[in-house]
Structure 1
Amino acid sequence: MSFRSAGFRPAVVGSAIALVFALSASAVTAQDAQPKTAAPAAAATSAAPAGTAPAAAPAVAEAPAKPGDAAAGQAKAAVCGACHGMDGNSSDAQYPKLAGQSERYIVRQLTDFKAGKRQNPIMLGMATPLSTQDMHDVGAYFASKTPLPGVADQALVEKGQTLFRQGDPKRGIPACMACHSMDGRGNPGAMYPQLTSQHAQYVQATLKAWHDGTTWGDDAQSQIMPAIAKKLSTDDISAVSSYVEGLHSAETTQPAATP
């Protein structure tokens, strides 16, 4: 449930524009630096027999991405910090925390934003200039960070915990932990996202959007949560959203050594 930004920020838009201009300038410089080999190619084309269409230029395939490099991703993720926090812990609850989110899940969401499968004008501008390797590096950086724990509303804990751990079989609602794990850390292999410590406001807005018909793609995985969210009541959504914000692993404290 990541990356859904609910609003515009001038600073963010300005950063996106600056990023696009920077990448565009780099592309122009690279073109100027290339050897001037276009003339012979043009001559060969003009010499082709009449009525013969010139051969299309072969598409340049992007090199397969390597596993993400968190160190490289730190610099690439700098612009993300305006909304998501420099360490992935956003201070504004309308923007999701990315700290601790899996690399594969982040890459999937950025890929969908870039392709327009997941609609968001801010994230479209952010994702469009990124290569697949950039996405892996950014994902690796945020995956290396630790989400700051949140606090659940005690009045909603019991109901939220029941939905998270047991679901509601009578209404066909599965337990959240079946996909997102007992501690809310998610399932990186299946690209099920981490939920632990996520802002309740963000989770609530996302579940409501799914409940109302929003989808993030057309593949089978993209249909899972909208189908579940449609079965949730407004109270269900509020309770489970609050519960996951307060869900986090207790820190183990070592007792002080006695002299």
Structure 2
Amino acid sequence: MSFRLAGSRPAVVNAVALVLALSASAVLAQTTTGGQAAPAATTASSAPKPAAAANGAPIASTPTPAPDNEAAAKPGDAAAGQGKAAACGACHGMDGNSTDPQYPKLAGQHELYIAHQLHNFKSGARQNAIMLGMATPLSDQDMHDIGAYFASKQSLPGVADQALVEQGQKLYREGDPERGIPACMACHSIDGRGNPGAMYPQLTSQHAQYVEAKLKDFHDGVSWGTDAHAQIMPLIAKKLDPQDIAAIASYIEGLHVANEGAPASASP
């Protein structure tokens, strides 16, 4: 796994609304996604214990089964999805690599996660006026086809602010047990690829500005639905302070695997 560092580039602090996800998880159920912490396992199998709800009951760390109409859709067809995703390209890039950091990269994101979020936009479970208009005319099969198309693409590596890497890496890989913050990688994997089966989104190389905006939303109590899976990130993010959020977001932008073209010397 490798990083790209932005040198003196400041951490992005603009919170802007967007589509996601790490995530996704988040960034960061995810995650996705300070202080001296006890050593944590460094494999994605070390998932955090389920968070507790306000009444003390544990919240499941696996997603609620998809609604019947989502489950009824056939696996997505990337070729069919290419045409259906044409309108998405204006914000997210034709290959899913958006150039405007307020819009998330969708390249390499999991099909099921994209389809599920489109369904959330359409149903109103996730609020975004632009995405409501885009998702409303889509059938469940359209959503899976679009998801399959973007899943077939590769996200372009980003860069991380060198000044934030140490703190971001610690939180991403170890969390902060003293504050009850789990490691982001427990759900999103050490390289940010996520977990498609559990619907934890890919976070690798995601724009820091987008991740930061979503983490701030989660911190303030925004959720993307009422099911247990949708409650994970708000519970985690409320324990993060602004510096934590900036560091995690920057670290995620620089997170990618070596074969994506980053120099080996950039490894943390």
Name the TM-score, length of structure 1 as normaliser: 0.74
Deviation at 1:64, TM superposition (A): 2.8
Structure 1 residue 120, shift from structure 2 partner:
0.5
**Which of 1 and 2 has greater Rg?**
1
Residue 191 of structure 2 corresponds to which residue in structure 1? 183
Distance of 1:100 and 1:123 partners within structure 2: 20
| Selected match of 2:125 from 117, 131, 134 | 117
Aligned: 1:209 with 2:217: yes
Which residue of structure 2 lines up, in the alignment, with residue 248 of structure 1?
Answer: 256
- Of 124, 145, 149, the match for 1:137: 145
SS in 2 for 1:228: helix
| d(CA) in 2 for partners of 1:93, 1:144 | 21
Task: Give 1:62 deviation, angstroms.
Answer: 9.6
- TM-fit CA distance, 1:6: 2.5
Show CA shifts across 1:137-167 (max 9, x none): 0000000000000000000000000000000
Alpha-carbon distance, 1:63 to partner: 10
Point out 4+ residue stretches in structure 1 off by more than 4 angstroms. none
Aligned counterparts of 1:5 and 1:76: Cα–Cα separation in 2: 26
Is the 2:97–2:105 Cα contact (8 Å) retained in structure 1? yes
Percent identical pairs in the alignment equals 75
Query: For residues 22-41 of structure 1, what are the structure 2 equivalents within 5 Å?
Result: none
Residues 101 and 122 from structure 1, CA distance in 2 versus in 1: closer, same or farther, beyond 3 angstroms? Answer: same
Looking at structure 1, the residues matched to 122 and 144 of structure 2 have their Cα atoms a distance apart, in angstroms, of: 14
* Structure 2 unaligned regions, length at least 5: 1-14, 19-68, 262-268
RMSD across aligned positions (CA): 1.8
User: 2:80 aligns to what?
Assistant: 72
17, 23, 31: which one pairs with 1:6?
A: 17
Bigger helix fraction: 1
| CA displacement at 1:252 relative to structure 2 | 7.9
